[in-house]
Amino acid sequence: MTAINLRRGLILALVILVADQASKWWVLNGLDLPMRRNVPLLAAGPFGLDLTMVWNRGVTFGLLSGSEPWHAYVLAGLAAVIAAVLLRWMAKAENRRTALALGAIVGGAVGNVIDRLRFGAVVDFVDAHAWDWHWYVFNVADAAIVLGVITLLAEALIGGRPAPAAGEAPR
């Protein structure tokens, strides 16, 4: 069963990687977003989703950002090591949900590593906002990583419990 789960996780990682890189190509070349800022995508009352170009030189939420050339390589190397550890975990995943969550994280991490190696920073372009509050600008890879982590947390907290036996009270 672990071989099937590994295959599923790897396929999802590849799908996310392709979607991430295609969306970034579209933003940089097709849409020419670096020249156009705040292109509205969706508006529903006080909530909105815009396209806006941001070069993220750090990690999540811009943490650990730096402009030195070596900085991007250090972050890319760290992300690559983490992706390798997650691939090993994926190879041992005992259920589909865990394998898919790990695949989402690995696909997103590799997509952002490619950006760091190509551009020295990650291409972020989705701006979600409500009223006057804006979430950090993100991309397809970031969304996949966050959803994968949330799934792993849910799996750890509630997904791994065995079902109660007949006549037994739930724990």
Which listed residue (20, 50, 124, 127) is catalytic?
A: 124
Query: Active-site residue 124, yes or no?
Result: yes
Any idea what the Cα angle at residue 105 is, between residues 104 and 106, rounded to 5°?
95
Residue 101: other Cβ atoms inside 10 A = 27
Which listed residue (20, 50, 127, 142) is catalytic?
A: 142
Asked if residues 6 and 106 have their Cβ atoms less than 8 Å apart, the reply is no
Distance CA 139, CA 25 (A): 12
Phi, psi of 69 (to 5 degrees): -60, -35
DSSP codes of every residue in 113-128: HHHHHHHSSEEEEEEE
Query: Active-site residue 115, yes or no?
Result: no
In DSSP terms, 146 is beta-bridged to none
| Residues constituting the chain | 171
What residues are annotated to the active site? 124, 142
